[in-house]
Structure 1
Amino acid sequence: MQPGVVSLVVIMDIRELQKAIKDAADCDLTIKVEHRPFLLHPNMDEGKVIDKMTFYREKFGEEKLAQIKQMVSARAKELGIEIGFEGWLCQTIRAHRLLRKAYMLGGQELQEKVLEAIFYAYFTEGKNIADIHFLGELAEEAGVFSKDEAVEFFKSDEYRAEIEQMANEARKKGVSGVPFTIINGRWAVSGGQTADVYTQIFQKLAGKGPLHSIPAAPSCSDSGCPIAAAAAAVKS
C-alpha cells in the first residue's frame, strides 16, 4: 500500500469494527470499546505544525503524490468519507488527552463522539488539532466541558503522564503502527481489517464459529496519520 494512503486506514478500520459490532447483535455478547493512545511523533514539539502538502511533496514527489491522492480519494468515496489534503500535521498528545478525558467522563459513547469530531476536523477540514482553542470549541460542542474549562485543561498536565505511559507501553508490547486492536485480551488485530475479520472473532467468542487466520493489512506507522485509536480494547 502506498504510504500516503495510511491517512484513511484508521477511519476505515473503525468503520469496519462498528459494522461488525452491529452485525454481532445476535451473538449474545456485550461489546465495549476503549480507544487508547499511540503517538506517531512522540518527540515532536506540541506547538509545531507542518503544512501537509509541503510535507507530502517533499516525501513523495509530485508524481507519486498525485497517484496517492487519486487512490485515497477513490477509496474514501467508496466509504462515504470526505478526505481533504490541505491542512496541518502536528503532535497529537493534546487530542489524546481530550479523548481520555471524554472516556473518563462519559465512557465509550462520549469518547467516540469526540473521536469522530477530531477525525472530521483533521481529515476533512484540515484543522490544526493541536490548537488548544480549536480543541476547546470541539470539546464544548461535544459536551465534554466548556471551552474555557477545556483551555484550562490543556494548560494543565492532566492525563499527560498517563497518555505518555500508555503509548510507551504499547510500543514496548510490540505495537509499531495503527490501527491495532486487542480483543478480549486474546487476539491482536493489526492494520485496517474488514468487518468480516472482526465478525468471525465475535462469533468465536460466542461459540458460534471457527477463527481463521487474520490476514495482513495496511497500518499507519509514519506521519501520514494524525491521531489514532491504537488499541481498541474490546471486552466480552
Structure 2
Amino acid sequence: MTKLSVNINKVATLRNARGGDVPNVVKVALDCETFGADGITVHPRPDERHIRRKDVYDLRPVLHTEFNIEGYPSPEFIDLVLKVKPHQVTLVPDSPDQLTSNAGWDTRTHFDFLSEVLDAFNNAGIRTSVFVSTDLEMIEFAAKAGTDRVELYTEPYASAYGKDKEAAVAPFVEAAKTARSLGLGLNAGHDLNLHNLNYFYQNIPWLDEVSIGHALICDALYLGLERTIQEYKNCLR
C-alpha cells in the first residue's frame, strides 16, 4: 500500500504568523500519526519561515512513523540531516528564497554534485530520494547518481487533470515504469489532493509514498484533521 506522508510546513507557517507555539508543530505531527499518517515530512528553509531547525530536532525522537526531511542540499542542510538522521532525505533544487518547489532536478547537469551528496547520506544509512520531472533522462541520471528513490513532481499532472486526466497521467506512468525498471523506489508529491490523488494511484499502484501538505491542511480546515487524513488514505486504496 502506498504510504501517506503529511507535510506539516503549513502548520508551522500558521504558528509563525502569530509567534508563540500555537499550533504546536510536534503535537500536530503526533496527532497526524494517531489519525493514520504513515509519515511526517518537513522542509526546513534557510529563513525558517515555516519549519525551524529546532522543530526538526524536536520531532525526530518522538515520531513513531517515517520522518522525511526535504530541502536543497546546502552545507547547513546536509549538516542538519546527518545529525538528525531521518528515515529519508528528499533533495529538491530550490533556491533559498523560493516560495515552493516548482521543478525537478536537472540530474545530468548536477550529476557530480548530487552523487557526492547522495554518497554522504547513503553512507549514513539514510534513504535518499531526488525530486524529478517526468523526463526519462533525468530519472536515469538520478539512478546513476546513486539515489534510492525519485519523487515525481506532480504539479503538471494536477494542473492538467481537470482537462484530460488520461493525458495528464500518461507521462507519469511512463516515468514510473522507467524508475521501476531502474530499480528505484517511487514517491510523488506537489498539488496532489482529494480530487486527483486516487486516479494517480490507480494508474501507478506501485507508488511507495505520496507527500502532501498544502491541500491536506486546507481540507482539514473544513473536514477536521482526523477525517481529512482518512479521506486521503482512502484515495490510496
TM tier, smaller: under 0.3
**Structure showing greater Rg:** 1
Q: Which has the higher helix share?
A: 1
Greater length-normalized contact order (CA 8 Å, ≥ 6 residues apart): 1
TM-score, scaled to structure 1: 0.24
Q: Which has the higher strand share?
A: 2
